A = this chain, B = another copy of it.
Amino acid sequence: MAVVVRDLEAALGFYRDRLGLPVELVLPIESDGVTIAFLPVGESKVELVQPTDPSTGVARFLETRGEGFHHVCYEVTNLAETLDRLAGQGIELIDVVPRKGAEGPVAFIHPRSGHGVLVELIEAPGGPAWSTLKY
């Protein structure tokens, strides 16, 4: 679950210091114009996303809607195959083929198909898209 925040240190003051979630990693991703803190909860993770470049979509999201829930991400074993199947089933895809995300192959499903939720799919490490996209 990814949450857009204005100030990562302030958000960690709540998620890490008050809720007590462990911080696995704080990663500046310059290509996406964000810094992300990953806080594992069971087998899932909360991602706190702070925009660092005002020209990005996530920065505009923060300016227009304020801090809050941004998207949820699920891991799949074969991303290209999953996208082909979903497209054939009438699901509205933002990315019809896997694209190179900072942390591996990713694709987004439009909130119109996700019942109001922006859904990201990532491919599990070692899946076929990793070699296709040449990581």
Chain A positions near chain B (C-beta within 8 angstroms): 1, 3-5, 10-11, 14-15, 18-19, 41-44, 48, 66-69, 72, 74, 86, 89, 91, 111, 113-117, 119
Known: A1-B1, A69-B117. 6 other contacts (CB 8 A): A14-B91, A15-B115, A18-B86, A42-B44, A43-B44, A68-B111
CB < 8 Å neighbour of A19 from B3, B14, B67, B74: B74
Q: Which residues of B contact A74 (CB under 8 A)?
A: 19, 41
CB distance from A130 to the nearest CB of B (A): 21
Would A91 and B18 count as touching, CB distance under 8 A? yes
Instruction: Write out the residue numbers on chain B whose beta carbons fall within 8 Å of the beta carbon of A19.
Output: 74, 119
Chain B residues whose C-beta falls within 8 Å of the C-beta of A41 in the assembled complex = 43-44, 74
Judge whether A116 and B69 touch: CB under 8 Å. Answer: yes
Listed A/B pairs (13) with beta-carbon separation below 8 Å? A1-B1, A3-B115, A14-B115, A18-B86, A18-B89, A18-B91, A18-B113, A42-B42, A42-B43, A43-B43, A44-B44, A67-B115, A69-B69
